[in-house]
């Protein structure tokens, strides 16, 4: 479990959640501080504006009216010089603090402890009890006196700054750990689901081909992934068993002619002196070899058809003509085998396809009927056109044993009864592959008494 936990922390989902949370916190903090700066800056500049306004008013009184008018404006009821008690009231009411000094620097009116330069300064007001910051500025008057105006920095300012500081702390202390926890559980959820798929993949890689990815039934994206992978594995499995069947089939079917070929070579060595015997052996060997090549040809053609590349070469095919020609070509062959072939062909049936392959399809069906039907069988070749186009090759016995019916189109499958006859078990596979290429279905009618093969083309004209 420790290792799992370790890998969760290292997992991509976790790292992404963490990175996203980090980024979110950073952006939030930046926004908070920008906002705070705007608010405080606004407070300060309003304050400075008010200070400037008051200074101008003071100057106006001093120059426009008289020194006494200025002093009267500043003075409270108890005299021009403010006591430190009066500052409490100023603080509470958020009023300005004034000081008017003469050329000697002695306070004539206002609060005597307020000193400031001609630029705005921020400092703690000298006062026995109050320890609040003020912003203050002075103007020099003609004749040597000064007016100083100050204002306490308002509570709003500190509140804004404190709020920003608290926000920052909260983000770091609360949001980040929360993101960590969410990230962990989120990743664990994803991780466990993915891990199921990974374990399946690893199991398959180890050779446990039956292993399948877990499906929870929620049908979410993970289930879809699992289902997709399982389908893929099923397909791989089928292909694998096909390949296995093919390999076994190839090995089995090639073994006999190759062994015979080897046998003939041995006989040639033995009969070297007897040229008649040697040429007989050579001819037999050539037959065995051509049997091998025929199997390879069938496999290659099957591969070519299944790859689907030939679809590009589809042309308009007069299927009626094609079937009629093949029927004509094979009729005497059936006759010579003491079997009869009846033909029933709808005329004017066209479809898009590969004429060579369609010829091969029908030839394979006819040869299949020729080889595997009973003695003196009646074979019926039909081309029917209704909603679909269907091609039928049916004989009247003995038919195919029920257990073999499903496998009759499989590669290298040969019913036990046909083991002794020539053939390689690829003819009907090729029929099905060619039918598939043409979007048609090759089927065996399970109800029919004999073997009744149908190829049903869905396409019309």
Among 49, 159, 274, 328, binds another protein (CB under 8 A): 328
Residue 336 C-beta: closest distance to another protein, Å: 6
* Total residues in contact with another protein, by rule CB under 8 A: 30
Q: Does 65 bind another protein (CB under 8 A)?
A: no
Q: Does 332 bind another protein (CB under 8 A)?
A: yes
Among 246, 363, 384, 448, binds another protein (CB under 8 A): 363
Token output for 20: 């996203």
Among 72, 274, 325, 344, binds another protein (CB under 8 A): 325
Phi-psi region of 79 (alpha: psi -120 to 50; beta: other; left: phi over 0): left
Token output for 361: 């399809």
- Measured CA to CA in angstroms, residue 289 lies from 246, 254, 259 at distances of 20, 10, 10
Q: Which is nearer to another protein, 68 or 279 (CB)?
A: 279
Structure-token match 């004999």, residue found: 450
* Cα–Cα distance, 70 to 145 (Å, whole number): 12
CB distance 28 to 171 below 8 Å: yes
Q: Which of residues 335-354 bind another protein (CB under 8 A)?
A: 336, 354
Q: Which is nearer to another protein, 30 or 329 (CB)?
A: 329
Q: Does 10 bind another protein (CB under 8 A)?
A: no
Q: Does 304 bind another protein (CB under 8 A)?
A: yes
For 193-229, the DSSP string reads: HHHHHHHHHHHHHTT-TT------SS-SHHHHHHHHH
Q: Which of 62, 46, 143, 45 is nearest to 98 (CA)?
A: 62
Q: Does 50 bind another protein (CB under 8 A)?
A: no
User: From the CB of residue 214, how many other CB atoms can be counted at a distance below 10 Å?
Assistant: 16
Among 159, 356, 406, 449, binds another protein (CB under 8 A): 356
Helices (H), 61-175: 67-74, 84-93, 155-170
Q: Which of residues 367-396 bind another protein (CB under 8 A)?
A: 367, 370-371
CB distance 379 to 395 below 8 Å: yes
Residue 256 C-beta: closest distance to another protein, Å: 16
Q: Does 429 bind another protein (CB under 8 A)?
A: no
What residues contact 112, with CB distance under 8 A and at least 6 apart? 81, 82, 99
CB distance 193 to 11 below 8 Å: no
Residue 354 C-beta: closest distance to another protein, Å: 7
Q: Does 301 bind another protein (CB under 8 A)?
A: yes
Q: Which of residues 150-209 bind another protein (CB under 8 A)?
A: none
Q: Which is nearer to another protein, 188 or 294 (CB)?
A: 294
Q: Does 316 bind another protein (CB under 8 A)?
A: no
Among 50, 294, 311, 378, binds another protein (CB under 8 A): 294
Phi, psi of 393 (to 5 degrees): -125, 115
Among 112, 126, 167, 423, binds another protein (CB under 8 A): 423
| The dihedral sign for the CA sequence 197, 201, 204, 208 | negative
Phi, psi of 204 (to 5 degrees): -65, -40
Q: Does 359 bind another protein (CB under 8 A)?
A: yes
User: From the CB of residue 166, how many other CB atoms can be counted at a distance below 10 Å?
Assistant: 11
Residue 250 C-beta: closest distance to another protein, Å: 18
* Cα–Cα distance, 425 to 373 (Å, whole number): 16
What residues contact 127, with CB distance under 8 A and at least 6 apart? 84, 87, 113
Q: Does 286 bind another protein (CB under 8 A)?
A: yes
Q: Which is nearer to another protein, 127 or 294 (CB)?
A: 294
Q: Does 360 bind another protein (CB under 8 A)?
A: yes
Q: Does 143 bind another protein (CB under 8 A)?
A: no
Among 20, 300, 376, 401, binds another protein (CB under 8 A): 300
Q: Which is nearer to another protein, 85 or 286 (CB)?
A: 286
Q: Does 30 bind another protein (CB under 8 A)?
A: no
* Cα–Cα distance, 281 to 249 (Å, whole number): 27
Q: Which is nearer to another protein, 193 or 264 (CB)?
A: 264
Token output for 395: 């004989």
Sites of contact with another protein (CB under 8 A):
283, 286, 293-294, 297, 300-301, 304, 309-310, 312-313, 325, 328-330, 332-333, 336, 354, 356, 359-360, 363, 367, 370-371, 422-423, 427
């Amino acid at each position: 479990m420790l290792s799992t936990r370790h890998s969760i922390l290292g997992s991509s989902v976790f790292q992404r959640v963490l990175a996203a949370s980090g980024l979110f916190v950073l952006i939030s903090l930046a926004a908070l501080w920008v906002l705070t700066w705007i608010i405080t800056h606004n407070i300060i500049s309003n304050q400075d504006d008010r200070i400037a306004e008051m200074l101008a008013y003071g100057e106006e009184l001093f120059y426009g009216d008289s020194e006494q008018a200025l002093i009267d404006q500043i003075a409270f009821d108890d005299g021009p010089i403010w006591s430190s008690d009066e500052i409490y009231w100023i603080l509470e009411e958020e009023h300005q603090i004034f000081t008017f000094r003469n050329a000697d620097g002695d306070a004539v009116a206002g609060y005597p402890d307020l000193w400031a330069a001609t630029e705005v300064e921020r400092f703690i007001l000298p006062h026995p009890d109050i320890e609040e910051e003020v912003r203050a500025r002075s103007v020099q008057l003609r004749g040597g006196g000064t007016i100083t105006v100050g204002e306490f920095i308002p509570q709003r300012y500190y509140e804004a700054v404190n709020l920003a500081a608290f926000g920052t702390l909260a983000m770091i202390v609360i949001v980040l750990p929360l993101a960590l926890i969410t990230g962990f559980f989120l990743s664990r959820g994803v991780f466990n689901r993915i891990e199921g798929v990974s374990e399946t993949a690893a199991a398959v890689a180890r050779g446990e081909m039956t292993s399948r990815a877990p499906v929870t039934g929620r049908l979410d994206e993970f289930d879809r992934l699992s289902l997709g992978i399982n389908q893929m594995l099923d397909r791989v499995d089928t292909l694998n068993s096909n390949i296995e069947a093919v390999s076994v089939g190839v090995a089995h079917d090639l073994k006999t002619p190759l062994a015979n070929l080897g046998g003939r070579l041995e006989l040639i060595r033995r009969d070297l002196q007897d040229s008649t015997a040697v040429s007989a052996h050579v001819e037999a060997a050539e037959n065995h070899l051509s049997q091998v090549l025929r199997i390879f040809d069938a496999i290659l053609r099957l591969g070519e058809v299944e790859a689907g590349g030939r679809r590009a070469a589809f042309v308009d095919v007069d299927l009626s003509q094609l079937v009629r020609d093949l029927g004509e070509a094979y009729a005497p062959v059936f006759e010579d085998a003491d079997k009869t072939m009846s033909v029933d062909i709808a005329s004017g049936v066209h479809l898009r396809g590969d004429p060579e392959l369609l010829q091969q399809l029908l030839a394979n069906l006819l040869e299949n009927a020729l080889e595997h039907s009973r003695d003196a069988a009646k074979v019926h070749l039909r081309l029917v056109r209704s909603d679909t186009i269907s091609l039928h090759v049916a004989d009247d016995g003995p038919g195919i044993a029920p257990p073999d019916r499903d496998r009759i189109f499989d590669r290298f499958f040969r019913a036990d009864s046909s083991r002794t006859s020539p053939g390689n078990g690829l003819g009907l596979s090729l029929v099905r592959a060619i039918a598939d290429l043409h979007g048609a279905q090759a089927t065996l009618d399970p109800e029919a008494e004999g073997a009744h093969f149908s190829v049903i083309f869905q396409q019309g004209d």
